[in-house]
């Protein structure tokens, strides 16, 4: 047994905001890869007339069908981000084990 007091658990608001920031950072990174890097790769492959591996062809065909980023895309991602924040706040406040699972 230690004479030191137990550390105070982190508050639900701070926990929710930290989890939300991690989710937003990961989603922004994935969106950047899909919206910017994949079209550049497709352009490079076409310029050099290369035959990419099968998995690369699959990704390029799936992403190539997606139209470019527009205002609706940004609003949709913002709405999903706010929904994620609401879920994280609810779970951090009332169901901590479920918060860990969602995170």
Helix, strand and coil content of the chain, in percent to the nearest 5, comes to: 75, 0, 25
pLDDT tens, residue order, the chain (103 aa): 567 777 777 888 898 999 999 999 999 998 888 878 888 888 888 899 999 999 988 888 877 666 666 788 789 889 999 999 999 999 999 998 898 898 8
DSSP of 62-78: HHHTSPPP-HHHHHHHH
Q: How many CB atoms lie within 10 A of CB 32?
A: 10
- What local confidence, expressed as pLDDT, does residue 79 receive? 94
Place of tokens 């706040």: 89
């Amino acid at each position: 047994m230690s004479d030191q007091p137990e550390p105070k658990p982190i508050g639900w608001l701070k926990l929710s905001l930290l989890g939300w920031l991690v989710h937003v950072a990961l989603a922004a990174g994935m969106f950047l890869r899909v919206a910017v890097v994949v079209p550049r790769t497709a352009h490079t492959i076409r310029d050099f007339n290369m035959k990419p591996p099968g998995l690369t062809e699959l990704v390029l065909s799936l992403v190539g069908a997606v139209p470019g980023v527009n205002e609706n895309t940004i609003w949709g991602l913002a709405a999903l981000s706010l929904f994620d924040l609401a879920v994280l706040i609810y779970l951090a406040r009332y169901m901590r084990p479920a918060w860990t699972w969602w995170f």
